Chain A
Amino acid sequence: MTVALKEVTTIIMAGGKGERLFPLTRDKAKPVITFGGIYRILDFTLSNCLNSGIRRIYVLSQYGSFSLDQHLRQAWDVMHPDLGEFIYSMPPQQIMVNRWYRGTADSIYQNLNLLERERPRQVIILSGDHVYKMDYLEMMKFHLNRGADLTVAAVMVPRAEGGSFGILKVNAAGEVENFLEKPQDPPGLPDNPDFSLVSMGVYIFKAEVLVAEVIKDAKKKTSKHDFGGDIIPQMVGRKKVYAYNFQDRATGAPRYWRDIGLLDAYFKAHQDLMGQTPVFELFDPDWPVRGRPQLDPPSKYVGAGSRVTVEDSLIASGCVIEGAVVRSVLSPRVRVGAGATVSETVLWDGVEVGAGARIQQAIIEEGVRVPPGFIIGLDHKRDAQRFHVTDNGVVVVPNNAIMEE
């Protein structure tokens, strides 16, 4: 069973405010936060689309939509409209209704005219703030083979860790019997009771079912108009809802998927990129991830008498390193001065670390100049007076930070 791609509409949800990622989302949309040096979080989902052969994409935007439009223009102007390909950014149109998107389900409701125009058979709904590599057409095959109304992609986590996610309770056939938001005692899988299935926020709907469900939801006064919280629970038991287990086919192990919803998750996902065999491999010829094309000179390591160290790190182009960089991710045009130490840190575009400065466990936004000798991440009490420090002790330095010399 196959589906022609022209019968599929793909929609990426990218409108959320990302308040839990503050201050990174202070001046931009969450999906366009820098990730992995040269990428924005959204690039992973868009690359998945491209690698899956999907070339007709709507990106539903709302908060900070300019930053999103700008990124789509600068990095993703790769489609050919005359071949019917596109990536369109869709903020609330205020045509059908006079309001902002109230939630993910409402953002579909507000674009029913778009679905009416396209008349797809299936609709793929994705999220703009996840890091993973997934072939959506494999999931589509699964969805069509089961004749499902809705297929929810899900990844296995140890049962003990399932309490902080939306968990799918499935039967042996993979049919979803219940959806539990942050359950105390997460149900295990029938064939793997030590693991629970976490919803990835990746959905394939039969188009007509999607339309009927979002209309129904729009009329519900108590609804928060959210796919995870409202649409999925209202469909389970009434419609054919299946879970697609995102696992390695050969080993059965869960594949890599991260929701970058929290600062600590953002930081931790960066650690997954590094080392000889990273948890999440960017060096993957079978699954290229597209970032913003850079026109910088090669990075240079300049040891004018002092020692330059770079260990287990990702260094983008245009950087000048005269100090030490360990287990860190550097975006383009970062400078690390002589005698400075940067460890377990994420530096965005153009950050300048002055000579002799010491930075540990930090996220530093674009263009920040850290004065020579300045210390970040070694004394959390002092850091907290100036910067945001996460529960796990990661210091976040926004681009408007003031640091005295």
Chain B
Amino acid sequence: MKTILVVDDDEAIRTLLKEELEDEGYQVLMATNARDALKAVEQEPLDLVILDIRMPGMDGLEALPRILGLKEGLPVILNTAYTQYQESFMSWAADAYVVKSSDLTELKDKIKELTQT
């Protein structure tokens, strides 16, 4: 079973993603902020990270290179309500950039694509 880490400060989003992704057969771990996410990346065997950008403390764009520094090659999907971060060089290191939507099709497709080995 593939394990996905969901990093988001919004509880509603975490709950939604957990339910939906577990239905799809993934194991889902959750972190409410970037620092906890880095700990999880270091300690847990993960297949993919779904990373929110706007979070208090360390934001997703700051966390992204650190995640990649800890686990080279670990796929990361930036998942944000905003489109403008797509312009930032810092977001380019992610494997995908998915704008949050009530329709999770795009996110699920990307997850499937990036966890296939």
Contact = CB atoms under 8 A, between A and B. Distances in A.
Interface of A: 96-99, 112-113, 115-116, 211-212, 215, 218-219, 221
Interface stretch (B7-15, B87-95, B109-117): B87-95
Interface stretch (B29-37, B49-57, B66-74, B96-104): B66-74
Interface of B: 65-66, 68-69, 72-73, 88-90, 92-93
A97 B69 contact: yes
Nearest to A114: B89
Contacts of A221: 72-73
B66 A219 contact: no
Nearest to A112: B89
Given A211-B92, A212-B92, A215-B93, A112 B65 contact: yes
A96 B69 contact: yes
Given A219-B72, A221-B72, A96 B65 contact: yes
Q: Helix, strand, loop or mixed for chain A's interface? A: helix
Nearest to B64: A96
Contact of B69 (A99, A115, A212): A99
Contacts of B72: 219, 221
A91 B93 CA distance: 22
Contacts of A112: 65, 89-90, 93
| Best-buried of A99, A113, A115 by chain B (most CB within 10 Å) | A113
Given A112-B93, A215-B92, 13 more contacts: A97-B68, A98-B66, A99-B69, A112-B65, A113-B89, A116-B88, A116-B89, A116-B90, A212-B92, A218-B68, A219-B72, A219-B73, A221-B73
Nearest to B88: A116
Contacts of A115: 89
A150 to B, nearest CB: 17
A219 B68 CA distance: 8
Contacts of B66: 96-98
